[in-house]
Structure 1
Amino acid sequence: MDSMPPAPSPTVPTVAAPIRWWRKWWRGLSPTRQDRFAALAPLAAVLMFLAAIVAAFWYLRAEEAEREQEALRRDVEYAQQRVRLRLLERQEQLMRIARDLSNQDLGRAEFVVRAEALISQYPELQAITWIDDRRRIRASHAAPTLASSELRIAGEVLKPGDTADTFGLARDLQQPVYAQPAATSGDATPLLQLQVPLNNQGKFSGVVLGEYSIDSLLRYGTPTEVLARYAVTLLDSKNQVLAGTPLGPRNKATQLLPWTPKANEYEIPVSPVGNGLVLRAQAYRTSLGVVGSGLFWLVGTLSAMTAWMLIATWRHTRRRMQAQEALVAETNFRRAMENSILTGMRALDMEGRISYVNAAFCQMTGWSAEELVGLKAPFPYWPEADHETLQAKLRDELRGNTMAGGFQVRVKRKSGTLFDARLYVSPLIDAHGHQTGWMTSMTDITEPNRIREQLSASHERFTIVLESLDASVSVAPLGSEELLFANKLYRQWFGSQTGGHLQLVAQAGVVPVAGKEHSGMDDEDGLMGLPTDPLTSARTENAEIYLPDLGKWLEVRSRYLNWVDGRLAQMVIATDITPRRLAEEQAERQAERAQSVSRLITMGEMASSVAHELNQPLTAINNYCSGMVSRIQSGQLTEEALLTALQKTAHQAQRAGQIIQRIRSFVKKSEPNRALADVHSMVNEAVELADIELRRHNVRLTHYVAARLPPVMADTILIEQVLVNLMKNGAEAIQHANRPAAGRSVELRVVPKQIDDRQVVEFSVQDTGKGLAPEVLERLFEAFFSTKAEGMGMGLNLCRSIVESHQGRMQAENLYNGPEVIGCRFSFWLPLAKPADGTTNSVANVQTPRTVA
């Protein structure tokens, strides 16, 4: 027989697990934290009790507010029914008058009588008006309280406005229509209008207009018990108050309290008017009552006092525990500090016996505290050779003759090695103020001594390097005449005073270092003009100056640094660059001579063309003179013909003189003279010079110059030399290419351009030759490189030097038509001259074409 399975064990209650967890957590806490939580438990209970009281008050007040809101809603709905019934009664009476008027049972007199009876009986009715289908007032009667601006006179026609619009609505709907017209004046009372249409045999024949006083409607239509309990108002569709006085806003700070009731109000539209007239009631303020408020504040005060007493007791206990913990921490701290500091501590009693050593002292010497405590001199860590010296110092210590700065000794380790140490001795005073011995601190200074020796050697090497420099180095603090450092060359040039440093700074144009005593004004800032970025990271300032006293050119570099004592100082380095300046001046003179020689070579190459050019005016002069002689001999020359011939002769002579003068100014050697130059004049002069050579090679020159180009800062002769060389090179390239007559042209183009955000004028010369090989393009502007058999290789090199000296750039490129090279283009640009007023010159893009055959 099979055994039955064991019955399932009963489940462990779910409460046991949290209880076990709670016990484990509580036992894991330290006693200090257990005491802290035990002290916080009563405080938490008091706070929970206070929270329960506040919640109870809040719940009761919420119940009371809900009951008040329900009573308010019932009262407002009752008042709305009363106002609605009153309006319906007046509407029924007006509809009776309208029915009698439609049946023609009433005339004007009878209408006025019935209107007067209704107005006198019901105070909310202010006026009753009979209006025909043409909007003309047939008859009207108003209450005495109605404003004069709202009276309606028989015979008038309704003006366009709210009343006229409602008239049209009543005519279209054939039903009574309520409306609230806009007030015509500031003192007019708000009115409610009711227009009842007249229907005579199915045809609209006008309306009966009844006007109500909204204030009277509220006063006489609302029950008095509702008016006594609430602030009742009538509002329009825009939430504007038409009648009644609303309650002001309640204090926001008071509304934040949980037991403060909210403002009870309720509103409902008044039918049959609809949303155009809303009845709103606001409950007057209520209070909790003296008994309820007093009970609440009594409970709150008692709870606060209990919480304060618990907190005070907890703080007192906590202070005692903190004092105990501080004492333990202080003891542990002192013990840990003594064991962790690298300074060895040794205490001697009044007889010179060791009474205490710390761990650092034992670690330094290698002996343990048990081996050292109780020993008298000589101590085992004394070197044998220094016993007498150390014994004498110990006697001085016991007599009280201690040195404030300590003294240096050698100490022997247990292993036999020696190290340098510095000892500081001070009296050991007990709690009663009596001296009980001497405390000695020992510091291992072996490594500092080694570092000090290395620093001394490094300083010596640094000094030797600075003293042997070929540059003058000086350092002076800002605002002082003290010279912090000066090397040998500075002392040779300027002596050991600060005058040379200040002279270099002042003449180089960097920030002066003189203080207020040199400023001339007491309130001037001596550091004014310094760089705004951190001075020690500011860039070095370079300047080249000439000192007549030394007869030298110096390159001065200056920067700011923090001196070893923390002061801000200025270092000035002056290097003798006299040989370099002399070499640069000689190079400039050579370049100038090379430019002059280049111009002479250019004119030499153009000599035959110039001779041909001069031959034309000279031949013309000869012809004019021969003709005049022949005509004078034959007696056929009149005075007018003679004057004409002489004028033409003078013109040809002037032309020849201009050609000679232009060639003379071109080849004349002169210093570079950069001035404001007109681009048009400069290009015209170059074109006239180069045109002679181009015509000799049968090359057509076309040039385009933009109109109204601003001037450039340039040397006219040098730029003309560049243009003439480029145009002559273009003509020679066309000659070597053997181009036909139709393809022999050189184009000069001068246009404005913007390069790297700079406004420039670009000059370009384009020929129709065979272009330049790639290897030639790479070396085109090198000195003494030429593609001509008779060339010197200086023309293009000088041209690029001239352009770059004017802060411009030159380049060359081949022109292609597909894979075929159809010419070469040389271009360079010059920056525009800056105007005196700082404005930017405007450059027109209109181009003026000119062609020279």
Structure 2
Amino acid sequence: MSIANNPTPAAPGLLARWRRWWRSLPPLRQDRIATFGPAVSVIVFLAAIAAAMVYFQLEEYEREREAVMRDVEYAQLQLRQRLQDRRQQLLAITQDLSQRKSGAFEFEFQSEILISQYPELTALSWIGPQGEVIASRLAPDATETADHELRNHLSHPARLAAFEQARRQLAPVFLHREFGLQEDPALLLALPLARRNLFLGMVLAEFSYEELLRQAVPKATLARYAVALIDERGELLAGVKQDSRRAMLHRLPWAMDPPAYRVTLAPQDGRLTLQAQVYRTSQDGPGRALFWTLGALSLLTVWMLLANWRHSRRRIQAQQALLTETNFRRAMENSMLTGMRALDLEGRITYVNPAFCRMTGWTEEDLVNSGPPYCYWPEEDHEALWKILYEELHGRYSPSGFEMRLLRKDGSLFNARMYISPLIAPDGHQTGWMTSITDITEPKRVREELSASYERFATVLDSLDTAISVAPLGSVELLFANKMYRNWLGQRGDGHRQLLDLACIAPRPAQAQRKAAVAEAEAEAGDEALAAGSNGGSAEIWLPELEKWLEVRTRYLTWVDGRMAQMVIASDITARRHAEELGAQQAERAQTASRLITMGEMASSVAHELNQPLTAINNYCSGMISRVKRQQINEEELLGALEKTMKQAQRAGQIIQRIRAFVKRSEPNVTLSDVAQMVSNATELAEIELRRHQIRLNSYLAARLPPLMVDPILIEQVLINLIKNGGESIQQAQRPPVQRQVELRVSQRLIEQHPVVEFCVQDTGQGVPPEILERIYEAFYSTKAEGMGIGLKLCRSIVEAHHGRLQARNLYNPDGIVGCEFSFWIPVTEPPRSDAETTTPVSLNAGPIAKE
């Protein structure tokens, strides 16, 4: 037979014996045992709870210790990474300084940006190789003492040590600066400036430990732990160092110190230690409270084992819950800022909260059980308030509430908004009406001020003589338009789009192209242009409908609803355009007049120049006639004489054509011009005047000069004027024949990495007095008695119109001024291309030129 079929009868026998023993005891002893038994149970229960608490505390302590280790190591990583990031940024600045790509101004500008972006960076200094401060920048909150210390930085041992290590190692150096008399501890970073192993100084950065902790350590870590930076002597550099024994008297016997963990900040500085300790302001308070609560409950349980224990305990719990709920609801009512008022079905006040009493100034005793008209109704508003109350009592109320004026007890009035809802009893029947009242005096004042501000803003915009409109990108929906826009282009957004299309000088895109253009504009403007309200450009357009010239400017912006929009500002510039056209016409006339004046001054020289070929022609013709009459000339000699006569006639014709081309009135046109041809034309005319005064003109042209996009007549004018001025200066100085020469040099060079062609005219005259060298370009100012004072002024205008520069300087030798040099350069540019890839002349508005 199996064991399962023969259960042992031991347990039932033991229970029967225990029952017999219990029944054999006297009743008094049974009561004592019954009373003692729960006490033992409570003691055992307390022991189990205490053991559990110790166990769970140990578990919690281990979890906290692991958590603080992870958080401290992560904070260490963040600190190292932040220092590494600042080091990389400063290395970039150091490289620019080493390569001389930037100076003190750029260094201070970059330093100010870094200090404003990174609060832990308190100072940046550029130190020369001898220890002098070239440039420095402090944090905005730095004191005057700190500024003085920074400018005398080598007076501090730590800064001097950083300087010496950087010079010796030629590598970045981190150093710890200890407490000073007037300085806080800081972390120094010395970055040497070196080029080809030559020490050129260093960049010294100072980091605040306090800001470094605040910026690098996660805020969650700072909130959970007492984080501190400690030096090798245990002194606190930054953060919080919690004393773990301060709350010893408030702990339980088994309470332990809060978990803490330390790591070093190597490799920056192994002597610095990062420490974190768990905050525990009231050490083991919950555990202590739980322990004593359990003890009290255990004693109460022993006492409550009497007959009425369960009933009393339930009653106490019910009362406590009711009291808590009542206090909670009362606290809510007393803390509300909204006034609450309850009315019965007849309109009598049955309840008001403290906020309503504070709002009106009346007490609860004054308001409760009072009926209409209420004491807080202004007398002049009784009729309107009776109507509102009637609507309220009959259930006809607006969900948005009513706006009204109420009277305080001190007689002052305030604006309020009242919201109404039915008051439903627990049995589901309506017992009255509940109203909430909010003081809207300040919001209403702000709203009225905003409305008045908007009216003023609209009035100002409507008073402008400029049309302003705003529309979404790629849409004709008009978001805003001022009065001038409406007067010019109407109420629709078609005018806005028309201005944009004309300003872009492009046909209106199709719908698909427009969407793509809008998407591209949003992508370009969304991050930068729209955030900063950047300019979209400007253009001058002709609007046929208004017969006006308009200057159109565009600006991207973000509209109030978050959409990307474009603002167009159109200004009437018709009068200005007319003035510019008139000025261009006057300039053209002045140029022609200037050339005529120049040729008038050269008339005698030109006549002398023409007299030579004409005299030669006359002599050749007379000789041929005489020899033909005497029949002393053969055909070969006759052809030779005729060829010489033809050459002299061609020479005279070329002189006349050159003069006619120079003085001919024409529109200034920029074309692709040959430099050698312009120089040849100018020297041919100018040399006539120079030969009359026995002055040599030497021209030197560099090989393979590129063609220039200029008006050749205007450039020839400048050259002739400068050469003539040089000749006149030589004539006035009365130089000997050996020194009477003017030299013209034309070469190609680079100015600011851009190719230019430079024209240089040197003379051996008396030069320009140094005290008036800066005034020679002023209008109507001349150093010659018969000069008009506009020649050099107009020369400079012509050169600058071609995007060049004109300058003058005296030539010196030990004895004094031996001449003057006028030079100007014209940039080499690509010619404008049309659709057919041909060169198109471009109009040039250059000033006229005349003899100085």
Identify the TM-score tier after normalising by the shorter chain: 0.5 to 0.7
Matched-pair contact (CA < 8 Å) for 2:702–2:747: yes
Displacement of 1:600 in angstroms is 0.7
Displacement of 1:615 in angstroms is 1.5
**2:582 pairs with 1:578:** no
Identify the match of residue 54 of structure 2 among 33, 41, 48: 41
Q: Flag the 1:444–1:711 CA change in 2: closer, same or farther, 3 A.
A: same
Letter in 2 for 1:365: T
Q: Write out aligned runs for 1:300-315 (5 A).
A: none
Query: Which residue of structure 1 aligns with residue 263 of structure 2?
Result: none
Identify the match of residue 685 of structure 1 among 662, 676, 681: 681
3-state SS, counterpart of residue 698 of structure 2:
strand
Matched-pair contact (CA < 8 Å) for 2:474–2:514: no
**2:592 pairs with 1:601:** no
Letter in 2 for 1:41: V
Matched-pair contact (CA < 8 Å) for 1:511–1:529: no
Query: Which residue of structure 2 aligns with residue 441 of structure 1?
Result: 436
**2:658 pairs with 1:662:** yes
3-state SS, counterpart of residue 402 of structure 1:
coil
**2:444 pairs with 1:473:** no
Displacement of 1:46 in angstroms is 8.7
**2:521 pairs with 1:526:** no
**Cα distance per residue 1:207-228 (max 9 Å; x no partner):** xxxxxxxxxxxxxxxxxxxxxx
**2:556 pairs with 1:560:** yes
**2:814 pairs with 1:791:** no
3-state SS, counterpart of residue 798 of structure 1:
helix
Letter in 1 for 2:585: R
3-state SS, counterpart of residue 526 of structure 1:
helix
- TM-score normalized with structure 1 length: 0.57
Query: Which residue of structure 2 aligns with residue 428 of structure 1?
Result: 423
- When Rg is computed on C-alpha atoms for both structures, the one with the higher figure is 1
**2:757 pairs with 1:758:** no
Displacement of 1:37 in angstroms is 9.0
Query: Which residue of structure 2 aligns with residue 815 of structure 1?
Result: 811
CA distance in 1, matches of 2:824, 2:757: 9
**2:477 pairs with 1:482:** yes
Q: Write out aligned runs for 1:143-182 (5 A).
A: none
Letter in 2 for 1:714: V
3-state SS, counterpart of residue 535 of structure 2:
coil
Q: Flag the 1:35–1:757 CA change in 2: closer, same or farther, 3 A.
A: farther
CA distance in 2, matches of 1:667, 1:476: 54
Q: Write out aligned runs for 1:243-392 (5 A).
A: 338-392=333-387
Displacement of 1:689 in angstroms is 1.2
Matched-pair contact (CA < 8 Å) for 2:476–2:493: yes
3-state SS, counterpart of residue 667 of structure 2:
coil
Q: Flag the 1:700–1:525 CA change in 2: closer, same or farther, 3 A.
A: closer
CA distance in 2, matches of 1:687, 1:752: 19
**2:748 pairs with 1:743:** no
**Cα distance per residue 1:755-814 (max 9 Å; x no partner):** 233211111212222222345333322222222232222222221221122111212222
**2:408 pairs with 1:413:** yes
Structure 1 unmatched ranges of 5 or more:
1-33, 50-313, 839-853
CA distance in 1, matches of 2:321, 2:550: 70
Matched-pair contact (CA < 8 Å) for 1:598–1:794: no
- TM-score normalized with structure 2 length: 0.57
Matched-pair contact (CA < 8 Å) for 1:678–1:711: yes
Q: Flag the 1:529–1:46 CA change in 2: closer, same or farther, 3 A.
A: closer
CA distance in 1, matches of 2:740, 2:750: 31
Greater alpha carbon shift after TM alignment, 582-591 vs 487-496: 487-496
Matched-pair contact (CA < 8 Å) for 1:505–1:511: no
3-state SS, counterpart of residue 778 of structure 1:
coil
Query: Which residue of structure 2 aligns with residue 649 of structure 1?
Result: 645
CA distance in 2, matches of 1:731, 1:353: 113
Q: Flag the 1:588–1:326 CA change in 2: closer, same or farther, 3 A.
A: farther
Query: Which residue of structure 2 aligns with residue 287 of structure 1?
Result: none
CA distance in 1, matches of 2:323, 2:749: 85
Q: Write out aligned runs for 1:448-459 (5 A).
A: 448-459=443-454
Displacement of 1:524 in angstroms is 3.7
3-state SS, counterpart of residue 572 of structure 1:
strand
CA distance in 2, matches of 1:480, 1:379: 57
Matched-pair contact (CA < 8 Å) for 1:510–1:541: no
Letter in 1 for 2:359: M
CA distance in 1, matches of 2:493, 2:685: 60
Displacement of 1:676 in angstroms is 0.7
Displacement of 1:464 in angstroms is 2.8
Structure 2 unmatched ranges of 5 or more:
1-46, 63-286, 295-317, 835-852
Root-mean-square deviation (Å)? 3.6
CA distance in 1, matches of 2:506, 2:657: 52
Letter in 2 for 1:406: G
Letter in 2 for 1:368: T
Matched-pair contact (CA < 8 Å) for 1:472–1:489: yes
Displacement of 1:711 in angstroms is 0.9
3-state SS, counterpart of residue 669 of structure 2:
coil
Letter in 1 for 2:518: G
Q: Flag the 1:805–1:524 CA change in 2: closer, same or farther, 3 A.
A: same
Displacement of 1:429 in angstroms is 4.1
Query: Which residue of structure 1 aligns with residue 491 of structure 2?
Result: 496
Matched-pair contact (CA < 8 Å) for 1:676–1:833: no
Q: Flag the 1:775–1:359 CA change in 2: closer, same or farther, 3 A.
A: farther
**2:456 pairs with 1:464:** no
Query: Which residue of structure 2 aligns with residue 720 of structure 1?
Result: 716
Query: Which residue of structure 2 aligns with residue 547 of structure 1?
Result: 543
Q: Flag the 1:646–1:528 CA change in 2: closer, same or farther, 3 A.
A: same
Query: Which residue of structure 1 aligns with residue 219 of structure 2?
Result: none
Query: Which residue of structure 1 aligns with residue 700 of structure 2?
Result: 704
Displacement of 1:594 in angstroms is 0.5
CA distance in 2, matches of 1:511, 1:421: 58
3-state SS, counterpart of residue 442 of structure 1:
strand
Displacement of 1:818 in angstroms is 4.8
Matched-pair contact (CA < 8 Å) for 2:529–2:556: no
CA distance in 1, matches of 2:790, 2:328: 87
**Cα distance per residue 1:84-109 (max 9 Å; x no partner):** xxxxxxxxxxxxxxxxxxxxxxxxxx
Matched positions, count: 532
Displacement of 1:330 in angstroms is 10
Matched-pair contact (CA < 8 Å) for 1:595–1:798: no
Query: Which residue of structure 2 aligns with residue 400 of structure 1?
Result: 395
Query: Which residue of structure 2 aligns with residue 113 of structure 1?
Result: none
Greater alpha carbon shift after TM alignment, 363-372 vs 540-549: 363-372
